[in-house]
Copies of this chain bind each other. A is one copy, B any other.
Amino acid sequence: MAAKKKSKTSEGTPSQPTEPLSRLLRLPSGPVDMAALDPAATHGYPGVGKDDAPALTEALAPELSDLQERLYANGRSEPEQAPSVLVLLQGMDTSGKGGVIRHAMGMVDPQGIQLTSFKAPTKEELSHHYLWRIRRALPRPGMIGIFDRSQYEDVLVVRVDQLVPVSEWSGRYDEINAFERKVVESGTTVIKCFLHVSFEEQKQRLADRLASPEKYWKYNPKDVDARAKWPAYQQAYADALERCNTEHAPWFVIPSDRKWYRNWAVAQLLREHLVGLDIGWPEATFDVADEQTRVAES
């Protein structure tokens, strides 16, 4: 009973889960067994199925919009103190990082978003520490940052493809934890989302991309190469999830075999975190009465 206390505020709204998604999707600490994480689950989904999803997701838009505007307003008025939010998206190819950005993040004002897609590092990026490019992309106060891939690539593809020796990548988990701690301490709420898609669903999505000329552009032959290394990637993900599942920046596992659930879930997670920040409107940085007189006389 005590554990359910926090969800009371939203119990009246049928469009809200009865328990916060940030609790339901949070990866428990301890060993991670990828096979035990169901990629087709719909934890906390308040609807019946797919048909409800567009309306349930769209229903979040007004509140997300209001919450984001408060955050942004604080960033503008008090940049020294304003918080920021970082939504970090990781997942295998076709897991839907792009879909989440389009459908969930697309609901908030583009002025409040700082989106960075991390590709294979450039020459310049390679000449720096692997966290250099990450640090430069962190959201400014008042902003919602979105990372399409992230620092975790440096313990995922880098590990699987042996781009650096074990001795090098094995120290990165602790380094990332320390880095994220600093980010959080500086006022950024970090929401790490692992978009969890199954081996079978990935095959279907790749086949779909080849079945329609409208989707050819999304297809990359290298995705099949990476698919051949699925077990190695799953092991690398399991370790990244387990070793970087900290109190200050926990992982959320987003079941992603159902696109409609995935998009709703990330939007809902963002909403819950923004609500949790309890952001008011910033104070006036000028004398309101004086300015009213100036405007009236102008």
Q: Are B221 and A291 in contact (CB under 8 A)?
A: yes
Please give, as numbers and ranges, the residues of chain B lying within 8 Å of A111 by CB-CB distance: 98, 101-102, 115, 117, 148
A281-B115 contact in complex given A221-B291, A295-B203, C-beta closer than 8 Å: no
A3 within 8 A of B: no
Q: Are A228 and B284 in contact (CB under 8 A)?
A: no
A210-B291 contact in complex given A76-B217, A284-B219, C-beta closer than 8 Å: yes
Q: Are B115 and A207 in contact (CB under 8 A)?
A: no
* Interface core residue of A214, A217, A224, A283 (most chain B CB under 10 Å): A217
Number of copies: 2
Please give, as numbers and ranges, the residues of chain B lying within 8 Å of A224 by CB-CB distance: 291, 294-295, 298
Size category, A interface: 35 or more
**CB neighbors of B among A195-243 (8 A):** 203, 206-207, 210, 213-214, 216-219, 221, 224, 227-228
User: A residues touching B (Cβ–Cβ < 8 Å)?
Assistant: 73-74, 76-77, 98, 101-102, 105-106, 108-111, 113, 115, 117, 146, 148, 203, 206-207, 210, 213-214, 216-219, 221, 224, 227-228, 281-286, 288, 291-292, 294-296, 298
Q: Chain A interface mostly helix, strand, loop or mixed? A: helix
Q: How far is the CA of A296 from the CA of B203 in the complex (A)?
A: 8
Q: How far is the CA of A291 from the CA of B210 in the complex (A)?
A: 8
Residue of B nearest to A66 (CB): B214
Q: Are B109 and A216 in contact (CB under 8 A)?
A: no
Q: How far is the CA of A213 from the CA of B117 in the complex (A)?
A: 36
Task: With both chains docked as a complex, state the minimum distance between the C-beta of A230 and any C-beta of chain B, in angstroms.
Answer: 9
